């Protein structure tokens, strides 16, 4: 039993779990650091969108159409994709749904969520997935928030937490250490760093800050697949 996570740069990753491929926040083609990734080779059964910002959905429509994937997000974002003819599943904060690979809950995030065209993207969120291969929390773009403390109270113990660590727009490393403690998860995959000037980080210093707190920060290379148990 292990989560197989592939990192595609920025806040985009896929997890193979419950026999399905779950893709999160696809932003690959516009990412200068991810030029070696062949987007047309990525398979997704589900595409989860945390919020409507461009750096979380640039490639979603193309991948969803090609793979006939189901786009899962808050009501407004799911509706925006439904109007483009894609298969969607609408959720909203605090709600969970049993999919064919496991159960997913849409949880709170503190951020904003407008589409590139200015359309309203609802309120931003994160996801907690419970699957036969492990359980994980993806924070989406968010500040550190006390609501994270609800996750270990209401969800199964986590195998991994995928947290934004790039600062400026989201939590930085110091706050992400607190977030990992709030959700009671030792293994953290850092995302939303290095893509733009404002969010460049010192990776060794970041790993050390997590290690000093008794946590492990995993920073897979873009295109790398890791197994988390
Ligand atoms: Ni954002
Ligand atoms: Mn972002």
Task: Measure 190 CA to ligand 1 centroid, in angstroms.
Answer: 15
Domain that holds residue 122: 3-228
Q: In DSSP terms, which residues pair with 225 in a beta bridge?
A: 6
Q: Which long-range contacts (CB under 8 A, 24 or more apart) does 79-84 make?
A: 80/52, 80/115, 80/119, 80/121, 81/49
With a CB cutoff of 8 Å and minimum separation 6, the contacts of 4 are: 15, 16, 17, 133, 225, 226, 227
* The pLDDT of residue 1: 83
Give me the helix-helix angle, 75-82 and 60-67, nearest 10°. Answer: 60
Task: Measure 197 CA to ligand 2 centroid, in angstroms.
Answer: 13
Calculate mean pLDDT across residues 82-92: 98
Task: Measure 13 CA to ligand 1 centroid, in angstroms.
Answer: 16
Task: Measure 113 CA to ligand 1 centroid, in angstroms.
Answer: 7
Task: Measure 169 CA to ligand 1 centroid, in angstroms.
Answer: 7
Q: pLDDT (tens digit, 9 = 90+) per residue, 40-79?
A: 999 999 999 999 999 999 999 999 999 999 999 999 999 9
pTM beyond 0.85, yes or no: yes
Q: pLDDT (tens digit, 9 = 90+) per residue, 114-167?
A: 999 999 999 999 999 999 999 999 999 999 999 999 999 999 999 999 999 999
CATH for 152: 3.60.15.10
Environment of ion ligand 1 (residues, CB < 5 A): 53, 141
Residues 8 and 26 sit within 8 Å (Cβ to Cβ)? yes
Burial of 181 (0-12, 13-18, 19+ CB in 10 A): middle
**Tally of domains within the chain:** 1
Task: Measure 1 CA to ligand 2 centroid, in angstroms.
Answer: 31
């Amino acid at each position: 039993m292990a989560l197989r996570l592939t990192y595609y740069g920025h806040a985009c990753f896929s997890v193979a779990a419950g026999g399905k491929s779950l893709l999160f926040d696809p932003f690959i083609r516009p990412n200068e650091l991810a030029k070696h990734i062949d987007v047309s080779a990525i398979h997704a059964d589900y595409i989860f969108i945390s919020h409507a910002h461009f750096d979380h959905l640039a490639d979603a429509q193309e991948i969803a159409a090609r793979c006939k994937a189901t786009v899962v997000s808050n009501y407004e974002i799911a509706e925006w994709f439904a109007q483009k003819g894609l298969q969607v599943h609408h959720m909203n904060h605090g709600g969970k749904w049993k999919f064919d690979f496991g159960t997913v809950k849409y949880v709170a995030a503190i951020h904003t969520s407008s589409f590139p065209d200015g359309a309203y993207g609802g309120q931003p969120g994160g996801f907690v997935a419970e699957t036969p291969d492990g359980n994980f929390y993806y924070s989406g773009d968010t500040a550190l928030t006390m609501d994270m403390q609800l996750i270990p109270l209401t969800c199964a113990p986590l195998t991994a937490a995928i947290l934004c660590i790039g600062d400026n727009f989201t939590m930085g490393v110091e706050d992400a250490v607190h977030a990992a403690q709030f959700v009671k998860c030792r293994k953290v995959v850092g995302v939303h760093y290095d893509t733009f000037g404002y969010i460049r980080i010192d990776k060794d210093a970041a790993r050390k800050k997590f290690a000093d707190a008794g946590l492990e920060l995993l920073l897979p290379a873009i295109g790398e697949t890791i197994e988390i148990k």
